[in-house]
């Protein structure tokens, strides 16, 4: 397969890239650093155009939209959650996902049975919030809820083109974002997500699933 993974310079993205390369797949990992295999700042439209141009003529079998930020972690309700954090978070976690997909649609259309995997979070689940979620992290939760909605609508629109879209909660993972006290290792998350991506098809397009295969309530 030809695979593109955004946010592949560390954490889950890097783990996915290493896993797929180990299986012999052609993997292009993006990141903001100039040291990245393919530089991409998902908040900048011109960066998306440059990425698409760099991949001109390539067919992409799997696009993993993994790039994300958690800028409001630990913010206080009375004094935190500044407007700049809202703008930066949505630019990465929502607009960045959409622009990545939009820029690479011609490449996805070249492949037969292409797939898009969006890494969201259970923190964006309305059902989880209604059942007594822990609260806080308002910006991150709102952005991941928006990414979930984005994925559902893309699944509806792209199904007729033969492109499947899945949305995934990767678990609470021991990364820089998740912290050392998180429940699962990066390797466990990667193994689970790879299995989920392999099972994605037009029959279950629009799914929202946990890394371990359990369906997640929207």
pLDDT computed for residue 35 by the predictor: 75
Rounded to whole angstroms, the Cα distance separating 132 from 204 reads 28
Structure tokens, 215:
């369906």
- Going along the chain from its start, the domains and CATH numbers come out as 2-210 (3.40.50.720)
> Any residues with CB less than 8 A from the CB of 121 and at least 6 apart, and which?
140, 141, 144, 169, 170
- Both tokens assigned to 42: 């998902």
116-125: b or e for each residue (b if 16 or more CB lie within 10 Å)?
bbbbbbbbbb
Checking phi first, is residue 111 left (phi over 0); if not, alpha (psi -120 to 50) or beta? beta
Q: What is the pLDDT of residue 186?
A: 86
Rounded CA-CA distance 14/63 in Å is 14
Residues 181, 125, 121: CA angle, nearest 5 degrees: 40
Note the pTM of the prediction, 2 decimals. 0.94
Residues 135, 26: contact at Cβ < 8 Å? no
**pLDDT (tens digit, 0 to 9) for every residue of the chain, 218 residues total?**
999 999 999 999 999 999 999 999 999 999 998 778 999 999 999 999 999 999 998 999 999 999 999 999 999 999 999 999 999 999 999 999 999 999 999 999 999 999 999 999 989 887 766 666 678 999 999 999 999 999 999 999 999 999 999 999 997 777 766 666 767 888 999 999 999 999 999 999 999 999 898 888 78
Strand order across the beta sheet in which 115-119 lies: 38-39, 26-31, 2-5, 62-65, 115-119, 164-169, 208-210
């Amino acid at each position: 397969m030809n695979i593109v993974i955004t946010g592949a310079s560390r954490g889950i993205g890097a783990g996915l890239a290493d896993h797929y390369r180990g299986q012999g797949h052609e993997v292009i990992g993006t990141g903001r650093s100039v040291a990245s295999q393919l530089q991409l700042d998902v908040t900048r439209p011109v960066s998306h155009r440059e990425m698409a141009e760099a991949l001109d003529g390539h067919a992409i079998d799997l696009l993993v939209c993994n790039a994300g930020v958690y800028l409001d972690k630990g913010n206080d309700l009375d004094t935190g959650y500044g407007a700049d954090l809202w703008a930066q978070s949505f630019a990465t976690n929502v607009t960045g996902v959409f622009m990545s997909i939009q820029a690479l649609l011609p490449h996805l259309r070249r492949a037969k049975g292409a797939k898009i995997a969006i890494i969201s979070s259970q923190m964006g689940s309305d059902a989880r919030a209604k059942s007594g979620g822990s609260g806080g992290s308002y910006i991150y939760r709102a952005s991941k809820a928006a990414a979930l909605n984005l994925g559902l609508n893309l699944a509806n629109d792209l199904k007729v083109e033969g492109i499947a879209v899945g949305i995934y909660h990767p678990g609470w993972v021991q990364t820089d974002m998740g912290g050392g006290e998180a429940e699962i290792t990066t390797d466990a998350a990667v193994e689970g997500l790879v299995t989920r991506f392999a099972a994605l098809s037009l029959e279950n397009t629009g799914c929202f699933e946990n890394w371990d295969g359990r369906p997640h309530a929207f």
